[in-house]
Amino acid sequence: MELSRRITGLTGGGPDGWGLYFKARRMVAEGHDIVELTIGEHDIRTDPSILAAMDASARGGHTGYAMIPGTDSLREAVAERVSARTGVPTTPDNILITPGGQAALFAAHMAVLDDGDAALFCDPYYATYPGTIRAAGGVPVAVPTRPEENFQPRPEDIAARAKGARALLINTPNNPTGVVYSRPTLEGIAEACRAHRLWLISDEVYDTQVWEGEHLSPRALPGMAERTLVVGSMSKSHAMTGSRLGWLVGPEEAIAHLITLATHTTYGVPGFIQDAAVFALRQGETLEEKIAAPFRRRRKLAARVLAGQNAVRPVPSQGAMYLMLDIRATGLSGEDFAEALLERERIAVMPGESFGRSAAGHVRVALTVEDGRLAEALERLCRFAGELAD
């Protein structure tokens, strides 16, 4: 029996970008000591106070079916947070609670795409973006960005690919580059969306990890609230990756239809996890800053280690928990460099090519191990790159 083209074609016939990560995990399972700098997983786990709230809710009986759009208390808490952070009036009717940010990404594209519609996304991109678009029946179309422009998207590049497209997906602060889109960049993106009648899907899961400048949600720009769907999550801001708690912010009509989609797919998120998220959000910025602090500190640490050598050039990191490193001076592709680094130094990083053509010749480093181990790994990475560049 044949499977559907939709499910067998999710990766477009090529690799899904996770090959080196899975190779590193196999090596760890075999007993090798690997410094894993691959995925955005906090090395400090969910705060005990959040787990206590989750436990109390579960033991208190909130273990049955929860409200599919999200509990009233959580939708209200998210709406209050979004209003406060963006300045855009937001009510619970603008909020759908989802099983993580990835489910929100899928739901957003289901809301705006019909089969065969083109959907734009910026390259470099988080590895699941093209497959998510295909899963929703769309045709993924990459909008290239350039290392020499710090990977800021240009409106003219969006416009050049907008014919027949229904949506544009952006991510700021950006994974994998660590770049925060500037206000002029976002205003140009908004202008292109209005001119070409595009829905804007804005992945903002790193909005609490901004090291330079400020995060601007494009939903706050003129004429954008009615055409923007914003993806949010507790994963990065509150180190709740395994709890699978995200949300989608959008116009009331879109959210109403997306509740119907949730009824036919995820059927909601466990109530005790939602209650824990309410508790976490009520702790305010103090807890969010505590979660972000190690990555702010490690970004500075990495800058010191990388200074004074020429084989590895860091892309200016303004946010998120990653560094993008330009290793083109070694003469290797990102894939070949990452493979050699894993074999020779037992350090696992993600090849830039895992995130699209625009990141070729780069590798992404996740700042997700303790400071001393990170510094040593970066020193070895630079030494290895220097040997290749000589």
Pairing outcome for strands 322-326 and 313-314: antiparallel
The pLDDT tens digits for 74-116 are 999 999 999 999 999 999 999 999 999 999 999 999 999 999 9
In terms of Cβ atoms closer than 10 Å to its own Cβ (0-12, 13-18, 19+), residue 137 is: middle
Q: What is the pLDDT of residue 106?
A: 98
The domain locations on the chain are 5-45+286-389, 64-283
CATH number of 64-283: 3.40.640.10
Query: What's the CA gap between 313 and 316, in Å, rounded?
Result: 9
Query: Kindly report the CA angle at 235 between 233 and 334, in degrees rounded to 5?
Result: 105
Provide the edge-to-edge strand list for the sheet that holds 347-351.
35-37, 347-351, 362-366, 322-326, 313-314
Query: How far apart are the two ends of the chain, measured CA to CA in Å?
Result: 55
Query: What's the CA gap between 172 and 154, in Å, rounded?
Result: 14
Query: What's the CA gap between 230 and 217, in Å, rounded?
Result: 8
Is there a contact between 325 and 365 (Cβ–Cβ < 8 Å)? yes
**Alpha-carbon Rg for the chain in angstroms:** 21
Best CA proximity match to 260, nearest among 13, 69, 63: 69
DSSP state letters, 56-77: HHHHTTTTSPPPTT--HHHHHH
Q: What is the pLDDT of residue 60?
A: 98
Q: What is the pLDDT of residue 100?
A: 97
Query: What's the CA gap between 286 and 115, in Å, rounded?
Result: 44
Cβ–Cβ contacts within 10 Å for residue 261, how many?
Answer: 15
Which residues, other chains included, contact 188 with Cβ-Cβ below 8 Å and sequence gap of 6+? 153, 154, 155
Cβ–Cβ contacts within 10 Å for residue 222, how many?
Answer: 9
Quote the tokens at residue 136: 């929703």
**Within the chain, which residues score under 70 in pLDDT?**
none
Q: What is the pLDDT of residue 151?
A: 97
Is there a contact between 34 and 342 (Cβ–Cβ < 8 Å)? yes
Is there a common fold for 5-45+286-389 and 64-283?
Answer: no
> In the 8-state DSSP scheme, what is residue 2?
P
DSSP three-state, residue 381: helix
Residue 61 falls in which region: left (phi positive, over 0), alpha (psi -120 to 50) or beta: left
Amino acid type, 350 = M
Q: What is the pLDDT of residue 308?
A: 83
Best CA proximity match to 235, nearest among 202, 256, 206, 199: 206
Q: What is the pLDDT of residue 18?
A: 86
Query: Kindly report the CA angle at 150 between 203 and 295, in degrees rounded to 5?
Result: 60
pTM for this entry = 0.96
Q: 5-45+286-389: which CATH architecture?
A: Alpha-Beta Complex (3.90)
Quote the tokens at residue 113: 């795409």
Query: Kindly report the CA angle at 157 between 154 and 158, in degrees rounded to 5?
Result: 90
Query: What's the CA gap between 388 and 390, in Å, rounded?
Result: 6
In terms of Cβ atoms closer than 10 Å to its own Cβ (0-12, 13-18, 19+), residue 149 is: exposed
